[in-house]
Structure 1
Amino acid sequence: MNNIQIRVLCVCILSIIISCSDFPKDEQQNITKEVQWKYLIDEELSNWDTYLSFKHQKGYDGSAPKNEDGTLIDPIGMNKSEYKVFTTVKEGEDEIIKVSGEYYGCLISKEEYKDYHLQLKFKWGDKKWTPRESLLKDSGILYHSIGPVGAEHWRTWMLSQEFQIMQGHTGDYWNQATSAIDIRAYTPEYIMNPMANEHQDYLHIGEGGPYKNYCLRSNDYEKLHGEWNTLDLICYKDKSLHIVNGNVVMILKNSRYLNSQGEMVPLTAGKIQLQSEAAEIHFKDIRIRGLDSLSSNYKTYF
């Protein structure tokens, strides 16, 4: 390398250092932590277990499904790859998970996580199945998932908190089983649902609360059908943020659940479930990284 090449290289390195120093402190931290992302998609779905329960019918009431003779129907169970509900395909450089939605079920992370930033991209497929043929396409990210599968209404998913993925409703919250959380939201009136809003006080949503188990996101930021959407889930201690295409749509804190002794206890860690819920959906670029703290920007929401 001659003297001119050395000088050019030094100028390039100096430019990079100066450009990075121009970022706010939080952004500098994000740049530093970029290498800490763990990617959760590969061809074998090696980071996930799969679970399938049932093909639910219209009018299902949450009871244990039975045959015509009244005997209980067993769920399909864990890692039944022959059903082809969860498959992977390579599209260019992208490894994509295709969820057919034909059976109720989920991908379940093999690891448990706490204090993290989860990011993924999704887009809808075209198919819907009973009982959702005339309803909106539906899925979700279930976080802080603990205990057995089949703990909630549909006899499919673990006790958890839900970051809803639904047409026009991506970012909504549902509790699962006995979970509860407090959300900045408008107080509902009559038949209205609570709606998230960053300027409102916190409402108790879920187990033991006066507003049942559901809260609407603050606004609809989902892209058109067939386009990829980016979702970010920030979880730190008992707090979480639901972020849709860069927009914070829900602010949540005091994550908790009712345990078998009838006590409300913190719910701040667990597995991650991605739902199969009678609608075709595709996922890509699923990645996660640990958080040592909330950035100053995120702290302002709480």
Structure 2
Amino acid sequence: MSSLLLAALLAAPPVADSSEPIQLFNRKNLDGWGTYTVQTGHENPGIFAVEDGILKIAGGKEGLAYYGGMYTDKEYDNYRLVVEYKFTGPTFGKRKGKSRDNGILLHCVGPHGPGPWMTSVECQIIEGGTGDFILVPGLDDEGKPFKHHGDFEVEKRGGQWYYTPGAPEQRITTGRINWYGRDPEWKDVVGFRGSQDVESPLGEWTRVEVICDGNSVTNIVNGKVVNKGTNFALSKGRILIQTEGAEMLVRKIELTPLEKKGT
């Protein structure tokens, strides 16, 4: 595949926005959001806090890592989501010394517990792997085990799936789908950076856009399409921003509704 063709395939796709953007994060407080961690339940002892218009997500303290997230009160479908974030500090607990790791969970359904996260499709935010998909397992709203599926243009490299535009489409029901340029020598160590990484360097803001158009999801990092899937089993639900042992700052969480397909 020529470099020009690859660049065209990875360009952000045009999508018809149908209304004004909604600021899910108002830069003042956590109105419109709930919180949950394994360690604190639905209480929020400062794990998620707004300081000077910036959302600060604590990854943990001392030897403890927090696992959970903040989730929208409402469910959403058919939208463009923009999240601007940066990692700032160390990692905690069992994540100490490991890569800074959080994520954006889409189409969340089912209960919050007993595990850290609701059943969902994750757009991963992790050093070296921002834009990976993870099919987060769990229960549906009726308490039954949920069966994931999605279709992806992928190829196997070293026993893992990598998004590869133009490759044969595969139906995947579990696990991770790496973004196209994830370093094959990736290691779970703090500060890891691969040769093709699109995310910004540590301490700089990264812009992640997620386009949820019907049952398709496209992950865009700093303006470049890094991953895409179609025919997901989930297409509607809450949105959750994770805490997973790493401090992260967020300055924007913006949602723009899209024109629904067929309208």
TM-score (normalised: structure 1): 0.69
User: Would you say the 8 A contact 2:67–2:116 is kept in 1?
Assistant: yes
User: Would you say the 8 A contact 1:124–1:282 is kept in 2?
Assistant: yes
User: Would you say the 8 A contact 2:81–2:255 is kept in 1?
Assistant: yes
**Helix, strand or coil for the counterpart of 1:131?**
helix
Specify which of 74, 77, 91 is matched with residue 41 of structure 2.
Answer: 77
Which amino acid in the other structure matches residue 182 of structure 1? D
Shift of 1:52: 1.1
Percentage of matched positions with identical amino acids: 28
Which amino acid in the other structure matches residue 214 of structure 2? K
- The worse-fitting range, judged by mean Cα deviation, of 124-133 and 223-232 is 124-133
For 2:251 and 2:206, the matched residues in 1 are separated by: 10
| 1:130 and 2:93 matched | yes
Match of 2:189 in 1: none
Q: How does 1:182-197 map to 2 (within 5 A)?
A: 182-188=151-157, 191-197=158-164
Which amino acid in the other structure matches residue 96 of structure 1? I
For 1:215 and 1:242, the matched residues in 2 are separated by: 12
Specify which of 30, 44, 48 is matched with residue 86 of structure 1.
Answer: 48
Specify which of 117, 129, 136 is matched with residue 176 of structure 1.
Answer: 136
For 1:275 and 1:150, the matched residues in 2 are separated by: 14
For 1:232 and 1:131, the matched residues in 2 are separated by: 29
For 2:35 and 2:54, the matched residues in 1 are separated by: 16
Shift of 1:293: 4.7
Which amino acid in the other structure matches residue 184 of structure 1? E
**Larger helix percent:** 1
For 1:277 and 1:145, the matched residues in 2 are separated by: 17
Match of 2:200 in 1: 223
Unpaired stretches in structure 1, ≥5 consecutive residues: 1-25, 55-75, 208-212, 257-266, 295-302
Specify which of 40, 49, 55 is matched with residue 97 of structure 1.
Answer: 55
Bigger Rg over Cα? 1
Shift of 1:150: 2.8
Shift of 1:126: 0.9
Match of 1:52 in 2: 37
Match of 1:41 in 2: 25
User: Would you say the 8 A contact 1:206–1:214 is kept in 2?
Assistant: no
**Helix, strand or coil for the counterpart of 2:230?**
strand
Match of 1:248 in 2: 225
For 2:177 and 2:127, the matched residues in 1 are separated by: 15
Count residues in correspondence.
Answer: 218
**Helix, strand or coil for the counterpart of 2:232?**
strand
For 2:173 and 2:136, the matched residues in 1 are separated by: 8
Unpaired stretches in structure 2, ≥5 consecutive residues: 1-13, 61-65, 138-145, 182-196
Match of 1:148 in 2: 111
Shift of 1:169: 0.5
User: Would you say the 8 A contact 1:163–1:242 is kept in 2?
Assistant: yes
For 1:141 and 1:51, the matched residues in 2 are separated by: 15
Shift of 1:205: 2.3
For 1:282 and 1:205, the matched residues in 2 are separated by: 32
User: Would you say the 8 A contact 1:141–1:272 is kept in 2?
Assistant: yes
User: Would you say the 8 A contact 2:107–2:239 is kept in 1?
Assistant: yes
Which amino acid in the other structure matches residue 41 of structure 2? G
Specify which of 209, 219, 237 is matched with residue 214 of structure 2.
Answer: 237
The root-mean-square deviation of aligned C-alpha atoms, in Å, is: 1.7
Match of 1:110 in 2: 73
For 2:54 and 2:169, the matched residues in 1 are separated by: 37
Shift of 1:132: 0.9
Specify which of 98, 118, 125 is matched with residue 158 of structure 1.
Answer: 118
TM-score (normalised: structure 2): 0.78
